[in-house]
Homo-oligomer: A and B are copies of this chain.
Amino acid sequence: MIIVNTGNGKGKTTAAIGQIIRSLGQGFKVCLIQLFKGESFYGEQKILTALNNLDFYSYASEHPYCVKGVSVKEAANNCKPAMDKIKELALSEKQYDLIVLEEFNIALRDKFIEENEFIELVKEISKKSNVIVTGRGAPESLTDIADLVTEMKEIKHPYNKGAQACKGIEF
């Protein structure tokens, strides 16, 4: 099953994290590959890395939009090992029940990774695992092959009233 969490609202990442917790609770093996999130900034990372049966990989910790001085070329380069990791999963004997590809929709949108190559890889790994892809602006090529697509739609957000990102909620 291919699952996509997209949309401009909150909950794409947290829903994927909840899904990981649900799968681990059923005794399943999970692989999480994150882009643009570093390895310790987000609260969930501290809990997730301590759990059994979860392999956690983080790449391209800095997105040019968030970190000044990071070039688009650099970001694209930093996404390469993430794609290599997915290729490795596609070929590996190791079986995961769930593979989560965090913020890959953003990497697609910004052309840091090649869309056709990514779609083929997702198709390949979905033969053996459930796959979740998150990030706003999922391309049609991805939603086309997906079984389950949810749009997290912002109805009301405190950022719009000028509020700051809140520890434990946004990170």
Contact = CB atoms under 8 A, between A and B. Distances in A.
Interface stretch (A59-67, A73-81, A114-122, A147-155): A147-155
A11 B46 CA distance: 22
Contact of A155 (B12, B43, B150): B150
Interface residues of A, number: 53
B156 A148 contact: yes
B44 A18 contact: yes
Contacts of A97: 168
Nearest to A10: B150
A168 B1 contact: no
| Most chain B CB within a 10 A radius of its CB, from A16, A47, A97 | A47
B169 A143 contact: no
Interface string A16-47: 11110111111010000000000000111111
A107 interface: no
Interface of A: 1, 3, 5, 7, 9-19, 21-26, 28, 42-48, 51, 97-98, 130, 143, 146-158, 163, 166-169, 171
